Amino acid sequence: MSLINSPSRVTVGDANYMDWGGAGAGLNNHYRTTYKDDQKSMMEVALISNMDPVNIGLGCSDKPAPVTSLKPRKKTMTSVYLKFFETAADGKTRRCKFCGQSYSIATATGNLGRHLANRHPGYDKSGEAVSNAAARPVTVVKKSQPHGKANQVDYDHLNWLLIRWLVLASLPPSTLEEKWLVNSYKFLNPSIQLWPSDKYRTVLDEVFRSMREDVRALLEQVSSKVSITLDFWTSFEQIYYMSVTCQWIDENWCFQKLLLDICRIPYPCGGAEIYRSLIKVLKFYNIENRILSCTHDNSTSAMHACHTLKEDLDGQKIGPFCYIPCAARTLNAIIDDGLRSAKQVISKIREFAIELNASPVISEDFIQLSTAYQEGIWKFPLDVSARWSGNYQMLDLVRKAGKSVDAVIRKYEEVLGSRMLLGSSDKSAVSIMHQYLEPFYKTTNNICTSKVPMVGLVLFFVDHISETITSFRESRLSPEWLKNAAEEMAKKARNYINQVCNIFTYMTAILDPRIKGDLIPDSLNSENFLDEARTHFIRNYSASHFSSMSSGYNAQEIEDGGSVSFAEEIARKKRRTSMSSATDELTQYLSEAPAPIPTDVLEWWKVNSTRYPRLSVMARDFLAVQATSVVPEELFCGKGDEIDKQRICMSHDSTQAILCIKSWIQVGIKFKFKSTEIDYERLMELAAAAAATDNSPSSSDKKQR
């Protein structure tokens, strides 16, 4: 068949079939690979147009890596290489079956061997090709070959699919060196060639660099201010990592979030080291002059780094910059103080829940008993994680299904033991603690389920939590142990409020149409802050290039296609009259009633941006400021256990590349190697087609014969 004459597509061969030998011999003697003359039609991987039209060696060197440490012997002048070449119809040239390269018929076989070594490493070893782990490059055919035959097996398909698997599963390249995994592939086809782990690392590093350039180009197109969040963790190798994530709101009022980098913080991992790593990331992406805020993880080192960054940016007079602690981590620390007094009781309940999850018989009895006692419907497995959701679930279990718990423990006392039974004092403590922590559970659940946890709403919830702590601490009915716990919780709440009490968080809060000045916490509700906010708005956002507010109908009316009702027409005229008489848009905005709490903030601003053209620009900047440095679910539910395990167990040589690539793929950035886009959808289609062909009746008959 004719080959594809296009510099922007890669042609690769189809898979060979296996011939199964007779029984009685060793297993390895049962397999032999037969290369068919009538190969299948060639598979294709779509690539971008500016790729190298000759060879995209996928990071491999020009010369193949040696298979063993033995000195290679000189190849004799035999026909060992000729099976990879075909003689042209005119009898004057030989053509490579892989890439179509032509040689004179008089060319020595040594030159053919060098061609295979340089262009198709592994096949120059002939019978040794099965054990050669060197990666074979994917090549591009430049010219059409009318009498060409399909390529031999191309294992880059498999290796690129494995690259994708490593990234999505967050596994290090060394995973593919596992003996049982390699032998499993050899069982399916002894000629399969997996890349060595250093090859996978080389490719992953190159993919990381290629995709990072796309991330930088994307950020250059952002017209608004951006905010960043910092998160930290320590790996099992005791390496300290920092992730830097960027957030902004685009022109369509959609919230955008993008991981910028994962940095290894050098010893002693203090504020100075964090600052140097952070400023390096900001400069690489050219956003140090557009950053508005940084949300950190509440650690002293991160706070010092942010303080140094603020001094640096203020010294350059780049623009306003602030840093705030993570509200989710603060709430988590506050809740931990409250749970500490009930730790022993919770441990007993968790042990019981683990036994329920492990035994279908016991869990079925529990479900039947809870139904009979009308103590709710429980789904298994129960959450037994040490996160907030798991701890609260333990309290909830005894609080709502206490009779069922006692009945199951007594019925299976020989298996469970009587140690899990709770006394009356334990049950009383559970009841009090459950009642006390219920507002915390509702708050964290609301934050986790919020589309975007805006600073204004989070501050509103934290203020409510502070009031709850104060009421329990001052109540004469609260036991002494609860008052002591509430005292520690109150200290952390006050410390957080003191750190976030500044003009920047004030402006972020009032620009939330649900909060404005009505629901803002008293600690932030200051006349001085309002005056500063108005001054900042007039100085930075009342630019003359905005269209006049009172000139004709606005964009919303145009979108309505002129179908504005009489009442709405009167209302809009009154709004324009009112706004034209107001001192500025901010004053007009704050004079209106807040929107309902369920309101989608970004959708509200999208609709009302024509009413507040200047203020909406300010809102786009400030509403991107994040209240939490991590996704709240990572702290408040069992999902965080999986994320921690994934990050902590990742080896240092692949952490940055794999976790960044995975994050970028999830937000829609294309998987690229150098200038080449790897079309994984096409690869999966080809794999499915090959599997369907391999499982067809005719194919099965051939294998059996």
Mind listing the pLDDT tens digit for each residue in 327-336?
999 999 999 9
pLDDT of 170 reads 87
The structure's pTM equals 0.71
Give whole-number Cα distances, 146 to 1, 14, 37, 89, 100, in Å: 6, 19, 16, 11, 11
Is the pLDDT at 559 greater than 90? The verdict is: no
pLDDT of 122 reads 57
Between 13 and 507, residue with greater pLDDT = 507
Between 527 and 270, residue with greater pLDDT = 270
* Angle between helices 343-358 and 424-449 in degrees, nearest 10: 80
Phi-psi category of residue 374: left, alpha or beta, with phi > 0 → left and psi -120 to 50 → alpha: left
Whole-number Å distance between alpha carbons of 338 and 436? 9
Residue ranges of domains in the chain: 152-324+650-690, 330-499, 502-541+598-622
pLDDT of 119 reads 67
CA neighbor of 549 nearest in space, from 616, 621, 623: 616
pLDDT of 697 reads 61
Q: Report residue 91's pLDDT band, with 50, 70 and 90 as the boundaries.
A: confident
Whole-number Å distance between alpha carbons of 597 and 96? 69
pLDDT of 258 reads 95
pLDDT of 610 reads 92
pLDDT, tens digit, 9 for 90 and up, residues 526-547: 888 999 999 999 888 876 444 4
Q: Report residue 256's pLDDT band, with 50, 70 and 90 as the boundaries.
A: very high
What's the mean pLDDT in 643-651?
Answer: 77
What radius of gyration do the chain's Cα atoms show?
33
What's the mean pLDDT in 645-663?
Answer: 85
Most confident of the following: 11-15, 48-52, 692-696? 692-696
Is the pLDDT at 131 greater than 70? The verdict is: no
CA neighbor of 481 nearest in space, from 533, 537, 426, 439: 426
Residue pair 491/484 in contact (Cβ under 8 Å)? The answer is: no
Is the pLDDT at 290 greater than 90? The verdict is: yes
238 CB-contact burial (10 Å; exposed 0-12 / middle 13-18 / buried 19+) = exposed
Query: Torsions phi, psi of 326, nearest 5?
Result: -75, 120
pLDDT of 566 reads 56
pLDDT of 110 reads 74
pLDDT, tens digit, 9 for 90 and up, residues 462-473: 999 999 999 988
Angle at 414 between CA 409 and CA 416, to 5 degrees: 45
Q: Determine what percent of the chain is predicted with pLDDT higher than 70.
A: 75
Is the pLDDT at 388 greater than 80? The verdict is: yes
Phi-psi category of residue 317: left, alpha or beta, with phi > 0 → left and psi -120 to 50 → alpha: left
pLDDT, tens digit, 9 for 90 and up, residues 573-592: 555 444 444 457 999 999 99
pLDDT, tens digit, 9 for 90 and up, residues 482-529: 899 999 999 999 999 999 999 999 999 999 999 998 888 888 888 889
680 CB-contact burial (10 Å; exposed 0-12 / middle 13-18 / buried 19+) = middle
